[in-house]
Amino acid sequence: MQRRILSSPLLWALLPYILISVVHVTALALRSPLGPPTKLALMPLLALPVLVFASRLRPRVTIALLLAAILFSWLGDGAGTFFPVDDELPLMLLFFGLAHIAYIVLFWRYLRVKKFPWWALVYAAWWVAMLAIVGPHAGLLFFAVAAYGLVLGGTAALAARCHPVVAWGGAFFLLSDTILALRLFLPTELPHWTSPAVMLTYTLGQGLIVAGALLTLRRKEQR
């Protein structure tokens, strides 16, 4: 079983993304200058397994949705680099919001494998709690943060209906943005370790979502 996992074509296709994720998170922990360039390499490498298996994926629209989610995530990751504005946060919320909408359509229409689990209602409680904690410090961005929280919570909730790997990915993505929101909006500075924690959970979340999506779509194509 272990040998089969290690020889999996999907694992090999994901390996460049896994390696650069480790390098990036380590660079953040060590405050290395490798942090920014490795961050911009993450999403292009995550697109690699989608492109490798594209010919086997059905329906074809799922390829477009996966690549759209990855593209908008990349634009969100590099908002400050690609669009040099005074405040990059609104652009980050916009691009990641679009990425989540692509994931939501993918989960709702093409990846669901079971009924909505009752425990996923925790994501509604999460949204209310985050508004209560972050909302008073969001200022003019309150409604944008609230809307982004809805699509983020919706992504995690709909992921719970999918393959367990996708469900874990949605949960890690939610955890990443939760830590990031606390770092951005709370008046007291959080410890440095929360910076690599944001990217550790983010890379895990994105990688698991894509891996779980490919596993599901390839199984459907083989039936």
Q: In terms of residue numbers, what domain contains 217?
A: 2-222
User: For the whole model, what pTM was predicted?
Assistant: 0.93
pLDDT digits (tens, 9 = 90+) for 18-34: 999 999 999 999 999 99
| Residue 58 region by backbone torsions, left for phi larger than 0, else alpha for psi between -120 and 50, else beta | beta
Q: With 60 as the cut, is the pLDDT of residue 221 above it?
A: no
Contact of 17 with 207, CB cutoff 8 Å: yes
Does position 218 have pLDDT exceeding 80, yes or no?
A: no
pLDDT tens, 48-91? 999 999 988 888 999 999 999 999 999 999 998 999 888 899 99
- pLDDT at res. 5: 42
Q: Per-residue pLDDT for 187 more than 80? A: no
Q: Are 38 and 27 in contact (CB under 8 A)?
A: yes
Q: Are 156 and 170 in contact (CB under 8 A)?
A: yes
Output phi, psi for 60, to 5 deg. Answer: -65, -25
pLDDT tens-digit profile of 99-139?
999 999 999 999 999 998 989 999 999 999 999 999 999 89
**Percentage of residues of the chain with pLDDT beyond 90:** 78
Q: How many domains does the chain have?
A: 1
The predicted model gives 205-214 an average pLDDT of 97
